[in-house]
Amino acid sequence: MAESATALQDWLLLKAEDGSTATLPDNLSRAFQANDLSLLPVFVAHAWQEHLRAEADRVRREAAEAQQQDRAAAFNAQLGLDAQADGDLALQLGREVDRGLRGCRCELHLTAQPMPDGLRWFRLEIRDGSAAPGGPQETVQVLPVAGESQALAIRAAIHAVLEARGWQASAEPGLFHLEGPQLVALVAILKRLAVPASEDLMDLTALAA
């Protein structure tokens, strides 16, 4: 019995009655000895390609399952859960809490609005992230915040300073005009205040339900 040296030869031996080259059909035996896929009949070569695809899918699936198990173990370790703890319940609770917190978040948009006098006036608008601005507006900066109450507090503080400095002199409430240096200062503060993207212990939505 010939020793199989490659995955193709291993696979061909599965088609032998007794698992040896002696009982391989002649066309398969020639392909085995030469280790040459081109010597296989078309239908057998196609089956080999299907086998390769299935193996690749299996490897990817096993790798994904192993990664998921590692992530679940890391999640339990970060929470200090031992083998006796209900890890599934902790995972479900953590996922739902994260979803609830994400639902509370909103965005404070600094938008520019061209005016008939040629100047750009600005407005701070609170949005849920999906609302589209109305009119000819340009988004200058987006500030993610943890919730609407924080967005209102930030906007009120900014308006108070701008009004005291004389830059909120529009007849339309909420509009203010800034020159370049003042706009740069405001954008810098908005960037500093931004709530970072979710920094949960791990991406819980990536774990199995």
pLDDT of 23-80, one tens digit each? 888 888 888 888 888 888 888 888 888 888 988 899 999 998 888 888 877 877 877 7
Distance from first CA to last CA of the chain, Å, rounded? 50
Claim to verify: residue 162 and residue 188 sit in the same structural domain: yes
CB 72 within 8 Å of CB 87:
yes
Establish if 202 belongs to a structural domain: no
CB 105 within 8 Å of CB 146:
yes
Dihedral angle computed from the Cα positions of residues 140, 137, 101 and 191, in that order, rounded to the nearest 10 degrees: 10
Claim to verify: residue 110 and residue 188 sit in the same structural domain: yes
Report CA 143 to chain centroid distance, whole Å.
20
Claim to verify: residue 129 and residue 187 sit in the same structural domain: yes
Its pTM stands at 0.51
Establish if 115 belongs to a structural domain: yes
pLDDT of 80-130, one tens digit each? 777 777 877 887 887 788 777 777 788 899 999 887 777 788 999 998 755
Q: How many domains does the chain have?
A: 3
Q: Is 70 exceeded by the pLDDT of residue 209?
A: no
Amino acid found at 138: E
Contacts of 152 (CB under 8 A, 6+ apart): 126
What's the pLDDT score for residue 185?
92
Claim to verify: residue 109 and residue 181 sit in the same structural domain: yes
Claim to verify: residue 111 and residue 92 sit in the same structural domain: no
Helix, strand, coil percent content, the chain, rounded in steps of 5: 55, 15, 35
Establish if 141 belongs to a structural domain: yes
Claim to verify: residue 149 and residue 134 sit in the same structural domain: yes
Q: Mean pLDDT throughout 164-180? A: 79
Structural domain containing residue 163:
105-193
